Structure 1
């Protein structure tokens, strides 16, 4: 039984009865109607997958103009509807015209049941494929919007950042391979996305692949894809990340973590600009812009024989060396202000600012975790702050751990932070759930769930 809804539209009762009796043996839901004027209502009430549409409705008509009209009408509602036209009058020219206007197929009445089933089965697969593509497009659009909001601009006005921005402007419009170097937390992904956003590929996908978290056994299947039956769980063909990034940018993060055998496989793909899915011999051309990043010393690794020199030459047409936050001290307060605004909105805290002592504390700290550490410190401070000013106590940076000392940052799990926030809001409003919920940006029901969850 195929999980699909078929709508059959024909002015002949016998045709509708015949179609219904046959199709309900094979499809989950079959809807029939005599007049195409009911289309709008039926489409609004049913999740229709396939539409079987007659070409002629007026007595004596055989030119198919009505069918073409209603075909266009259906596709104007949703261009992804799968419409199969049917007529008792065989006309090759009419069939060609129907396909050009967007029909999926064309069948003659009276039909052969086997042929009708084969046609509708293929149509169902097409519909499911279209729905998956549409869903992926929505997800991609949403992700891209999120990325745009997060990485719209590189925050900073220090000399190292100005130099990097000048380089970005020159390099971004090209398809040159870029290698981004820098310590953890310096913003390598931010710069990679900025390269994409300023490039001619900005309207295509930005594919981020964290090679550091990718299991070595899954490297080929994830990056290059696989064919059905290539291994035990390969139930369908699946494109890899390179294919999915077609026309856009692929960002390979933590490239220094690749073993030598995987480096060789990646080099082959980059040299030939083709990928071969696991279980296939067919080479597929790829058109992607490559950006890579690492916090590892690749030149030293080449000297030690742990990173291929030819791969390094391939990926670093241009190098961007990102400075640690300690080297761009004048950007600290700019970044802190940016994060305060962002997290103040996220946690419904309104306009927040740092007091003078908090500013001094941030400037004296040496930030081994770089921008990412500053981001986490500000997020936690926003969560913990009672008023609209952030104090040194809210920052939770140990005063004896500054200068050249090893930093200690109090790490509080997010769930524990959430519990503290809830408790503070309840205490602040002396048990008034409505006010506490409003302060937290939650509904009363959501706050009660958290009270029960944390046993408060």
Structure 2
């Protein structure tokens, strides 16, 4: 989605360069505008707002020192300070590159370029801008924000914003580490109960003996260690939201007790005969496959219907496309501040290495990997070698390239993944082996968010 919604202006007096960049970028972005004459820059940027301008530093008929590019860069920065500019030149002059960056350019590329490098640079710049702009790609909670510009996360945001203002019970589904607790908190923070308590209970971790006392409370003397009255979590959440995490792990007998409370909307503390009415909004979460929950030998259907007025499925990180760029900028900035370090920039291969990792631990794993990188690196630039992935996490079986699915999209996606892996990410070789053009392969990579 970051690339898909971008508008890019390319300025170069070489028609072949304009054609090549237009063909490369057109399938990936919302719009590509090309301009041969730099004198028309002022007109172009007043007619349309561009996310990125790719600007050549030398033009025919002038002295090839790069000063022309610096002149036009300054003009663009003056008239459109929020527009990112990527400078391009055929001259490997590092001093000129540094000067361009000091003058406000976002990045610097050399001719002849590598297509993958241009796409990665544009994606990184857009991700960096997206991490600073929370209007469309983030959803704020009480103490955190959920970042996601991908189609799948935008769908989650739309559903969440519709559900949150209601009192409907919500079941949040998703793998470990995807951020189900953040979604639950966001529902509460965007609801009419936002000023009331938000109580979280990891019910999957409660033993049989603790389940009732923790949820429903107890009276003094109800059992040996009950030295005083204590409110249960239901009563503590009265007027607000009760979030029951890992709901799929409770026993059938615990399910019966929970169902009774939800039906009657009242709890009876242990050691008491008096029922206490409770007014709560219930949110539950589990990483268990919905098919398993549908098995009545594992989970009662009447309880499923009670807790699942609406379900929200949080997608795994591997399905979130370019979100990894925005998330990486967010976490690195967060940990740089936490550990009193200066701002970091990313080496060209840093994001590429992250994107090649499966992240079976999802966002939580990405967060820990980046925290370690920030702590351990000595420089101001994060490099691929700063990334160390844990062997604890194991990729889920569903990510395997082998599949019995007869769905055409799944077959095509898996074929692309297999060939890309075989060719170590080389798009040209992969396109040739698949029998399609580079542009067609780029379209499919965007379609499947690979």
TM-score bucket (shorter structure): 0.5 to 0.7
Partners of 2:156 and 2:281 in 1: CA distance: 19
Residue 202 of structure 1 aligns to a residue whose secondary structure is coil
Aligned to 2:153: 161
Kindly name which structure, 1 or 2, has the bigger radius of gyration based on alpha carbons.
1
- Contact 1:366-1:404 at 8 Å conserved across structures: no
Residue 204 of structure 1 aligns to a residue whose secondary structure is coil
- Contact 1:180-1:320 at 8 Å conserved across structures: yes
Aligned to 2:335: 343
| 1:214 maps to 2:197 | no
Per-residue deviation, 1:303: 2.3
- Contact 1:251-1:290 at 8 Å conserved across structures: yes
- Contact 2:178-2:362 at 8 Å conserved across structures: yes
Aligned to 2:142: 148
Per-residue deviation, 1:300: 2.5
The total of aligned residue pairs comes to: 259
Partners of 1:188 and 1:402 in 2: CA distance: 19
> After the TM superposition, which parts of structure 1 deviate over 6 Å for at least 4 consecutive aligned residues?
401-407
Partners of 1:341 and 1:164 in 2: CA distance: 25
Greater share of helix: 1
| 1:178 maps to 2:163 | no
- Contact 2:203-2:247 at 8 Å conserved across structures: yes
| 1:316 maps to 2:308 | yes
Q: Any gaps of 5 or more consecutive residues in structure 1?
A: 1-145, 408-456
Per-residue deviation, 1:345: 0.6
Per-residue deviation, 1:299: 3.5
Structure 1 residues 404 and 181: CA distance shift in structure 2, 3 A: closer
Structure 1 residues 406 and 168: CA distance shift in structure 2, 3 A: closer
CA deviation vs aligned residue, 1:115-158 (integer Å, no higher than 9, x gap): xxxxxxxxxxxxxxxxxxxxxxxxxxxxxxx9723x2x210100
Partners of 2:187 and 2:365 in 1: CA distance: 23
Partners of 2:390 and 2:195 in 1: CA distance: 45
Partners of 2:368 and 2:398 in 1: CA distance: 18
| 1:370 maps to 2:362 | yes
Q: Any gaps of 5 or more consecutive residues in structure 2?
A: 1-139, 400-450
What do you get for the CA RMSD once the two structures are aligned?
2.4
Q: What aligned pairs does 1:91-240 form with structure 2 within 5 A after superposition?
A: 148-149=142-143, 151=144, 153-240=145-232
TM-score, structure 1 normalization: 0.54
Pick from 242, 254, 260 the counterpart of residue 234 of structure 2: 242
Residue 282 of structure 2 aligns to a residue whose secondary structure is strand
Per-residue deviation, 1:396: 1.2
- Contact 2:360-2:394 at 8 Å conserved across structures: no
Aligned to 1:283: 275
Residue 342 of structure 2 aligns to a residue whose secondary structure is coil
Residue 176 of structure 1 aligns to a residue whose secondary structure is coil
Partners of 2:232 and 2:397 in 1: CA distance: 45
Partners of 2:231 and 2:390 in 1: CA distance: 49
TM-score, structure 2 normalization: 0.55
Partners of 1:310 and 1:392 in 2: CA distance: 50
Residue 307 of structure 1 aligns to a residue whose secondary structure is coil
Structure 1 residues 330 and 350: CA distance shift in structure 2, 3 A: same
Aligned to 1:386: 378
Aligned to 1:268: 260
Partners of 2:324 and 2:386 in 1: CA distance: 17
- Contact 1:364-1:403 at 8 Å conserved across structures: no
